């Protein structure tokens, strides 16, 4: 690695530092505000931003002297959208350029300890494209995809929350959650049966608890053999202690029930992911106070785990009182923005406000960052989008995007490509 790092660092040193706009005092006026917070919906209001934070939201908030005005012209203003369960910034090109795929490991030593925070690339050209979809923050989750040949490694690793602003450091929260894959995919890793997954998992949890209670002996080599490396055991300590959420990819109703039982017995704080058949036990999920992350397009029996998939899943879970987040598929697989999937859930019964919450405040709550992002409230980060229309509609688009109080350029690599070929000159496109 050292051999590779040296020239990379040298290149960085030579490159001119990117121009980073300063956080300023701004008032967004004539705004139809969906605050997703205590201020609710304000048909005509003002949002004041200063020092990167929101300082006021209201129908008649006072505009500070000297504030720059962004006139929303009656347009909808929302919190920046939160892309959930995405590889954004850790994968540049998914197929055929494996060396840019840093969201999964085939390591036999690192599974739970795998931590995507070290793979975040602020210079990914995919980030500005996601930003133009109104996404200001993203939950980066590791995966097992394509690199799960190894056995007994059912943990994909730890998630991180990033913002999509500019600059060298995008991390908002590390160790945001542990990712575990169950169902058919997990069964494949656990030797072919999902029954093995639950036994294996319970055993691993016991190992972590034993490790914590016998730390000194472990270092002296006086403990029994554990099923995980020391790094993995360490990473799982906050999970077994219920301090870090465990996101479990699980699909069929029977497995969801097993997972709820396991979480209750082990006193784990869990998040269900996928949960295509979750609607059929919505009251149980609500009673367990377990949040659910949904794939907003899922409605086919794509596996025997998902016979009951339906676009009405979001509506049923929400109606039962489950906290839902609608995920964002990888940006290169139709997932430029989560807003369309949220809108689709509205077409299948989810109330509009709940749909908007499912891509803003709800994922912020689920991933433990609601103190800073997900709603427009004084004191929160100024991650704000002004829209040309209904944010869930395909004909709408952001007209202004602010991240941590800094207005973002409405540009991306794909717009550069567009303009190069839209306006030909006498010279080849490479000259303009």
- Candidates 50, 280, 288, 368; binder of other proteins (CB under 8 A) is 280
Footprint (CB under 8 A) of other proteins, residues 53-72:
none
Q: Does 430 bind other proteins (CB under 8 A)?
A: no
Are the C-beta atoms of residues 337 and 328 closer than 8 Å to each other?
yes
Report DSSP letters for 31-70, one per residue. EEEE-SSTT-EEEEEEEEEETTEEEEEETTPPPPTTPEEE
Q: Which two tokens stand for residue 181?
A: 């894959």
Footprint (CB under 8 A) of other proteins, residues 336-375:
336, 340, 343-344, 346-348
CA separation for the pair 291, 275 (Å, rounded):
10
- Candidates 115, 255, 277, 383; binder of other proteins (CB under 8 A) is 277
Q: Does 304 bind other proteins (CB under 8 A)?
A: yes
Shortest reach from residue 97's CB to other proteins, in Å: 6
Footprint (CB under 8 A) of other proteins, residues 108-147:
126
CA separation for the pair 308, 16 (Å, rounded):
54
- Candidates 50, 107, 121, 303; binder of other proteins (CB under 8 A) is 303
Q: Does 275 bind other proteins (CB under 8 A)?
A: no
- Candidates 168, 321, 351, 429; binder of other proteins (CB under 8 A) is 429
CA separation for the pair 162, 168 (Å, rounded):
12
Q: Which two tokens stand for residue 92?
A: 């540049």
- Candidates 11, 13, 19, 395; binder of other proteins (CB under 8 A) is 395
Residues in binding contact with other proteins, number by CB under 8 A:
54
Q: Does 286 bind other proteins (CB under 8 A)?
A: no
Shortest reach from residue 413's CB to other proteins, in Å: 9
- Candidates 61, 119, 260, 331; binder of other proteins (CB under 8 A) is 331
Are the C-beta atoms of residues 278 and 285 closer than 8 Å to each other?
yes
- Strand order from edge to edge, sheet including 81-86: 81-86, 135-140, 155-163, 171-181, 246-250, 270-274, 292-294, 324-326
Q: Does 25 bind other proteins (CB under 8 A)?
A: no
Element (H, E) at 79: strand 76-79
Q: What is the largest CA-CA distance in the chain?
A: 77
Q: How far is CA 14 from the centre of its chain?
A: 33
Q: Does 185 bind other proteins (CB under 8 A)?
A: no
Q: Does 400 bind other proteins (CB under 8 A)?
A: no
Which of 94, 286 has the CB closer to other proteins?
A: 94
- CB under 8 A: which stretch of 1-9, 144-152, 189-197, 387-395 binds other proteins? 387-395
The angle at the Cα of 95, spanning 340 to 119, to the nearest 5 degrees, equals 80
Which of 128, 405 has the CB closer to other proteins?
A: 128
* Contact pattern for other proteins over residues 227 through 266, marking x by CB under 8 A: -------------------------xx-------------
Q: How far is CA 309 from the centre of its chain?
A: 22
Shortest reach from residue 211's CB to other proteins, in Å: 39
Q: Residue with structure tokens 């509506």?
A: 315
Q: 406-407 and 26-34 as β-strands: parallel, antiparallel, unpaired?
A: unpaired
Q: Which residues pair with 294 in a beta bridge?
A: 326
Q: Does 333 bind other proteins (CB under 8 A)?
A: yes
CA separation for the pair 183, 190 (Å, rounded):
10
Query: For the chain, how far is it from start to end, CA to CA, in angstroms?
Result: 37
Q: Does 47 bind other proteins (CB under 8 A)?
A: no
Shortest reach from residue 309's CB to other proteins, in Å: 8
Are the C-beta atoms of residues 207 and 227 closer than 8 Å to each other?
yes
- CB under 8 A: which stretch of 52-60, 172-180, 267-275, 409-417 binds other proteins? 409-417
Footprint (CB under 8 A) of other proteins, residues 72-101:
93-97
Binding site for other proteins (CB under 8 A): 93-97, 126, 252-253, 277, 279-280, 297-304, 306-313, 316, 330-336, 340, 343-344, 346-348, 392-397, 414-415, 417-418, 421-422, 429
């Amino acid at each position: 690695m050292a051999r590779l790092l040296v020239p990379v660092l040298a290149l960085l040193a030579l490159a001119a530092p990117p121009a980073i706009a300063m956080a300023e005092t701004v008032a967004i006026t004539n705004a139809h505000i969906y605050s997703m917070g205590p201020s609710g919906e304000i048909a005509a209001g003002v949002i004041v931003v200063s020092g990167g934070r929101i300082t006021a939201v209201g129908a008649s908030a006072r505009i500070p002297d000297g504030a720059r005005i962004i006139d929303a012209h009656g347009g909808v203003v929302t919190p920046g959208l939160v892309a959930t369960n995405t590889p954004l910034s850790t994968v540049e090109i998914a197929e055929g350029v494996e060396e840019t795929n840093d969201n999964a490991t085939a390591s036999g030593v690192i599974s739970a300890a795998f931590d995507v925070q070290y793979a975040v690339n602020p210079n990914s050209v995919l980030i500005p494209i996601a930003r133009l979809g109104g996404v200001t923050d993203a939950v980066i989750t590791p995966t097992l995809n394509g690199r799960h040949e190894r056995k007994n490694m059912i943990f994909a690793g730890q998630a991180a929350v990033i913002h999509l602003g500019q600059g060298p450091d995008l991390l908002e929260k590390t160790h945001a959650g542990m990712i575990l894959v169950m169902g058919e995919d997990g069964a494949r890793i656990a030797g072919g049966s999902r029954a093995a997954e639950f036994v294996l998992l319970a055993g691993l949890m016991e190992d972590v608890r034993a490790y914590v209670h016998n730390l000194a002996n472990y270092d002296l080599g006086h403990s029994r053999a554990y099923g995980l490396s020391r790094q993995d055991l360490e990473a799982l300590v906050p999970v077994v202690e219920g301090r870090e959420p465990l996101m479990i990819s699980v699909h069929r109703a029977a497995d969801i029930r097993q997972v709820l039982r396991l979480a209750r017995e082990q006193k784990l704080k869990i998040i269900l992911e996928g949960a295509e058949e979750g609607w059929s036990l919505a009251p149980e999920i609500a009673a367990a106070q377990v949040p659910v992350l949904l794939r907003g397009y899922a409605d086919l029996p794509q596996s025997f785990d998902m016979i009951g998939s339906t676009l009405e899943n979001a509506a049923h879970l929400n109606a039962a009182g489950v906290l839902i987040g609608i995920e964002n598929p990888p940006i290169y697989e139709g997932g430029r923005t989560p807003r369309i999937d949220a809108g689709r859930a509205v077409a299948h019964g989810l109330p509009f406000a709940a749909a908007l919450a499912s891509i803003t405040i709800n994922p912020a709550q689920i991933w433990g960052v609601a103190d800073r992002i997900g709603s427009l409230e004084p004191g929160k980060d100024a991650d704000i989008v002004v829209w040309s229309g209904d944010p869930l509609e395909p004909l709408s688009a952001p007209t202004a995007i602010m991240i941590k109080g800094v207005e973002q350029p409405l540009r991306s690599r794909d717009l550069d490509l567009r303009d190069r070929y839209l306006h030909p000159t006498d010279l080849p496109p490479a000259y303009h």
